[in-house]
């Protein structure tokens, strides 16, 4: 039932956007002849209507970005140097940390520049690169979260077969497939979006080259883009979520069958960090893209401003929380980090 609801919400959200975009395009056509000068660059609207807030957000985003680099960097180094963390779970965690660094580095620096220097333009090719990395990292993260849930399922429900099922070849292959699939999906979506003609309005009502904001500026039929995005959402959002859902259903059933209270606490502790990250990640996506649109222009403008702030939460706060959540709720990670920080160099 949960999966069906999610599928319906995703489809309705995309379908609503398609109808709305088609309506906007027809309305523009009725108003007069569209300016046929092709767009060579885009302008970010960002928080231009809230100048007093821009400085505050610049400071907040800068601090959070530094925390992302340091926190995820420490996790990557710890997972490489500490032999106790040479397991599938921490291998996936290292991949997730590296992904978060790449994802934020593709968008946060340009956002900081636009907030502090008022330089809000980005070239057509630069926008394509930013869109590619954003889409690739988001798709890959969905698959990695699904892989991590499967890893926890095997570890708790089939502990004796865990070393065989999750061998080094298996989990390296799983991570490689996640990266490759995310990259291919991003190439397809980026090429389909950037092949469209953009004539007239070149103002992106966002902080970055987010694909839905870009498609709204296209002066051509975007039905093919919508169809491929629906397929992409099913493959990279819904399917991993189904894996996560059923994995945790089996995990919960197995935990409740345990006689030892210590065993139950240990099993819950190994899953709580990952489950927290999943809730934050998917919860933000569903709230941002499945929220109904208002017909009142004033209300809609306020909702768009709130959507931008939510996108900041999704793009900056979530990668910042990942290393904090895993560090605070995992004894092995805390021990490895303390060991690295207290390790004295050999002279």
What mean pLDDT comes out for the span 146-157?
Answer: 93
What mean pLDDT comes out for the span 112-119?
Answer: 79
What gap in Å lies between CA 253 and CA 251, rounded to an integer?
Answer: 5
Task: Say which residues have a Cβ less than 8 Å from residue 341's Cβ, sequence separation at least 6.
Answer: none
The region of weakest confidence among 22-26, 123-127, 284-288 is: 22-26
User: What pLDDT is recorded for position 57?
Assistant: 83
Position 243 pLDDT exceeds 70: yes
Instruction: With beta carbons less than 8 A apart as the criterion, state whether 217 and 198 touch.
Output: yes
Structure tokens at 267: 């099993």
What gap in Å lies between CA 217 and CA 122, rounded to an integer?
Answer: 15
Measured at the alpha carbon of residue 138, what is the angle toward residues 132 and 140, in degrees to the nearest 5? 95
Instruction: With beta carbons less than 8 A apart as the criterion, state whether 1 and 236 touch.
Output: no
State the sign of the Cα–Cα–Cα–Cα dihedral 115, 118, 119, 122: positive
pTM of the model: 0.82
pLDDT tens readout for residues 174-232: 999 999 999 999 999 999 998 988 877 788 877 788 888 888 888 888 999 999 999 99
- Beta strand pairing status for 121-123 and 203-204? unpaired
Q: What is the mean pLDDT of the chain?
A: 79
- Using CB atoms within 10 Å of the CB of residue 165, give its burial: 0 to 12 exposed, 13 to 18 middle, 19+ buried: middle
- Using CB atoms within 10 Å of the CB of residue 53, give its burial: 0 to 12 exposed, 13 to 18 middle, 19+ buried: middle
For each of the domains in the chain, give its residue range(s) and CATH number, in order of start: 40-288+306-333 (1.20.1070.10)
Position 23 pLDDT exceeds 60: no
Instruction: Give helix then strand counts, H and E, for the chain.
Output: 14, 3
User: What pLDDT is recorded for position 186?
Assistant: 95
């Amino acid at each position: 039932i949960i999966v069906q609801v999610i599928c319906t919400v995703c489809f309705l959200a995309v379908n609503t956007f398609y109808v709305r975009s088609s309506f906007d395009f027809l309305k523009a056509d009725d108003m007069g002849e569209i300016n046929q000068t092709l767009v060579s660059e885009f302008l970010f609207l960002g928080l231009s209507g809230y100048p007093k807030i821009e400085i505050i957000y610049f400071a907040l985003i800068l601090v959070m970005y530094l925390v992302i680099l340091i926190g995820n960097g420490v996790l990557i180094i710890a997972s490489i140097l500490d032999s106790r963390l040479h397991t599938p779970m921490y291998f996936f965690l290292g991949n997730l940390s590296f992904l978060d660094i790449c994802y934020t580095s593709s968008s946060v620096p340009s956002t900081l520049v636009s907030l502090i220097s008022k330089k809000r333009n980005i070239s057509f090719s630069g926008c394509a690169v930013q869109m590619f990395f954003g889409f690739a990292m988001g798709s890959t993260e969905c698959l990695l979260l699904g892989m991590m849930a499967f890893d926890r399922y095997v570890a708790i429900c089939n502990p004796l077969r865990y070393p065989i099922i999750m061998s080094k070849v298996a989990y390296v292959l799983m991570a490689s497939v996640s990266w490759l699939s995310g990259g291919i999906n991003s190439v397809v979506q980026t090429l389909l979006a950037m092949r469209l003609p953009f004539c007239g309005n070149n103002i992106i009502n966002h902080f970055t080259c987010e694909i839905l904001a870009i498609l709204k500026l296209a002066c051509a039929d975007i039905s093919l883009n919508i169809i491929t995005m629906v397929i992409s959402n099913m493959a990279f959002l819904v399917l991993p979520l189904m894996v996560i859902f059923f994995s945790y259903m089996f995990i919960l059933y197995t935990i409740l069958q345990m006689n030892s209270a210590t065993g139950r606490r240990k099993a819950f502790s190994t899953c709580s960090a990952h489950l927290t990250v999943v809730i934050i990640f998917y919860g933000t996506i569903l709230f941002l893209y499945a929220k109904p649109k208002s017909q009142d222009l004033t209300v809609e403008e306020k909702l768009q401003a709130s959507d931008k702030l939510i996108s900041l939460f999704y793009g900056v706060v979530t990668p910042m929380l990942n290393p904090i959540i895993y560090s605070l709720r995992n004894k092995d990670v805390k021990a490895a980090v303390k060991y690295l920080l207290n390790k004295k160099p050999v002279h």
